[in-house]
Amino acid sequence: MYQVVRARMRMWVCRVRARRVGRDAGMATSEYAVGILVAVAFSMAFYKVVTSSAVSAKLAAIVTRALSATV
């Protein structure tokens, strides 16, 4: 009796694991896709900020000051 119950429990656990693997397989791909979209959107926003005239002038001033510094 014990062996029959143990075998049935093992079959049940294997079925549950198989369902999880099938269900989680697609979610990782969609999570990567959303992550890539967020990274691209953040990069575009950062590029717009850095290339604006005010920020470009400040960055140019910082680089000029750094290059003209004496040691």
Residue 44's pLDDT band, with cuts at 50, 70 and 90, is very high
Task: Give mean pLDDT, residues 18-47.
Answer: 80
Encode burial over 28-64: b for 16+ CB neighbours within 10 A, e otherwise: eeeeeeeeeeeeeeeeeeeeeeeeeeeeeeeeeeeee
What per-residue confidence (pLDDT) applies to 10? 81
Residue 25's pLDDT band, with cuts at 50, 70 and 90, is low
Domain ranges of the chain: 2-67
Is 23's pLDDT higher than 80? no
What per-residue confidence (pLDDT) applies to 8? 79
